[in-house]
Amino acid sequence: MKARFALLVLLPLAAVMISGCEKEKEDPSVTLGAQANTAVPGFFSVALDKIYTMSQAADNAAGIDIFCFYEAETGNNIALASPGSGIRDIFTGDDMPDNWTVKNTTYFFQTALTETQFEAVQNGDALIETSFDTDNARKKAKDLQVGQVWAFKTQDGTYGLLHATAVTQGTNGTVTFLIKTK
């Protein structure tokens, strides 16, 4: 009888403890939508590993490191940039990054890493930082293509690698990538 009572007391406690544990993200990919995509938000905080709509991003501008946009005329096509990149006249409305008072700048460098090499990298590995080429980095990762691996450095000094796994062109397009940081 005591054993049953103890079991009845411990089972709910164990359930609470297990449900309170942080779960590993089931899908490690990030999908961002371009400026006219109303279904997929396009702004990303690397530090928080969180995606935002433009209005949410405007309210959290200090944490936004990357956004997706599309611009065919300049050859950018589906591209990634940051609020501090100087990208103008892409977004519209009061919440557009042009109007933000805090505009973090993230720099990008297209590496020669393969998908297999990217997959072998673990978060925190030195290769993440050494893959970033400061002298050749740019304020945008333009014309993203499936299979490309880009190194980046956020304004707060976080280094990362992103591997593009899906790209849909257009102002309502998307880019999906896997990300690893140091």
* Mean pLDDT, rounded, for 142-168: 98
Tokens 């892409």 appear where? 90
Q: What is the rounded CA–CA span in Å between residue 77 and residue 94?
A: 24
pLDDT of 121 above 90: yes
pLDDT digit string, tens, across residues 92-101: 999 999 999 9
Which phi-psi region, left, alpha or beta, contains residue 157 (left: φ > 0; alpha: ψ -120 to 50)?
left
Give the pLDDT score at 146: 98
- Cβ neighbours for 47, distance < 8 A, ≥ 6 positions apart: 63, 65, 154, 156, 158
pLDDT of 124 above 80: yes
Tokens 């490191």 appear where? 65
Give the pLDDT score at 28: 85
pLDDT digit string, tens, across residues 67-92: 999 999 989 999 999 999 999 999 99
Q: What is the rounded CA–CA span in Å between residue 82 and residue 80?
A: 7
